[in-house]
Structure 1
């Protein structure tokens, strides 16, 4: 499978999607009343799509997934983002080397200081995901999306596209048990003759909901983080 999308629940897809497209220099794909999509191209065959579907009431739970942006010139990146509509945020980070901001709908994200592990990441340095068992969940995600272990920005397991480019998927020890629904999640898409979908429960994923006519199926990973499996 391919990790294809990062999805933000949005009250105003055009406003939120336009912010992130400008922040990440992403190419808009769709601009509809209820959906905004944009693409971050990292390499010829490596990309991530940013999806902003309209949701009447986005989750109020603290998200266990957020983007860390690459800050080659951190202060300049922060000023650019503030000019686009971001604001400073305090999530209890204390005196750290990264800067925490929130997007126009209040979703927190970080602007990282420059590090060697981010050299080929593109504009998104990492996708930290909270986990009840980081080593277990790193194995789970590696088996699904085919990403490989790599050095992380801290003391945590991390995965990266086998081409060695794009953001890190970092599995971070959770701050506490998962409560409610994540406001951000990822989507994966089967490729070729992929038959992993039916194997996901045996690998530790849990199906969410029954059969639907939607072109995706919802699962949670072993730590309860939602993700969707799109049609091939």
Structure 2
């Protein structure tokens, strides 16, 4: 049994507005599975597929009540591309953000809802990831997080040190999932968490039980009893959801 990382989930006051920002930012399309939910995925994409980790934007009454530790890093192919992308994102409504990064080659921005993300300088490792280079999770112990998430998913561990861990789909395509050692509490907003999906024919309850043996805990974030997903937290308390199989 294993799970797939299929999407990142944004909380927003206006799912359509934030969804359109990210669709325009990535050059992807938008759709909706129902009121209050906007889906962003590559044009012509057949979900789920490891070539992309999609975005799901969900309207909630008060998104400021959540402060997750996940953000996106966007890939660029040249310095000119980086500058063009930063300019275009600001035209779409992004703003410069100072999270204490100092003098670094990447650019830190916030989307119109205040979620921080980075536009990276060109890096060879991200040349084939698509527009999202990596999904980054701040954590205190990258080695422990790599053990948990490597066992939880079918993703392959590519690198691990005391300060950083990097995983990618076993198919060798799409963005990376990275864990960055940042033991201090986060002071800036992120309303983004991860969604995992079992393969068709697998049992959601069995996957949830397996995750708890790995160190996850089942949590209550105010979800109703009739939702199709299960809410959990990883060993460092980061929320994530296990969707229905398919």
TM-score, normalisation: structure 1: 0.90
Residue equivalent to 1:96: 104
Contact 1:40 1:48 in 2 (8 A): no
The 5-angstrom pairing of residues 79-158 of structure 1 reads 79-151=87-159, 156-158=164-166
Give 1:82 shift. 0.9
Q: Cα RMSD over matched residues?
A: 2.5
Contact 2:158 2:166 in 1 (8 A): yes
Residue equivalent to 1:70: 75
Give 1:35 shift. 1.4
Give 1:164 shift. 1.4
Hey, which bits of structure 1, 4+ residues long, moved more than 6 A? 41-44
The secondary structure found in structure 1 opposite 2:173 is: coil
The 5-angstrom pairing of residues 1-232 of structure 1 reads 1-30=3-32, 33-40=35-42, 45-46=49-50, 47-60=52-65, 62-72=67-77, 73-151=81-159, 156-177=164-185, 183-194=191-202, 195-209=206-220, 212-232=225-245
The secondary structure found in structure 1 opposite 2:12 is: coil
1:103–1:133 Cα change, 3 Å: same
Contact 1:182 1:225 in 2 (8 A): no
Give 1:26 shift. 1.5
Q: Distance in 2 between matches of 1:65 and 1:42?
A: 27
Give 1:196 shift. 2.4
Contact 1:8 1:51 in 2 (8 A): yes
Contact 1:41 1:48 in 2 (8 A): no
1:101–1:16 Cα change, 3 Å: same
Q: Distance in 2 between matches of 1:95 and 1:138?
A: 29
Give 1:80 shift. 1.1
- Which deviates further from its counterpart, 11-20 or 155-164? 155-164
TM-score, normalisation: structure 2: 0.85
- Which deviates further from its counterpart, 204-213 or 135-144? 204-213
Q: Which ranges in structure 2 are unaligned for 5 or more consecutive residues?
A: none
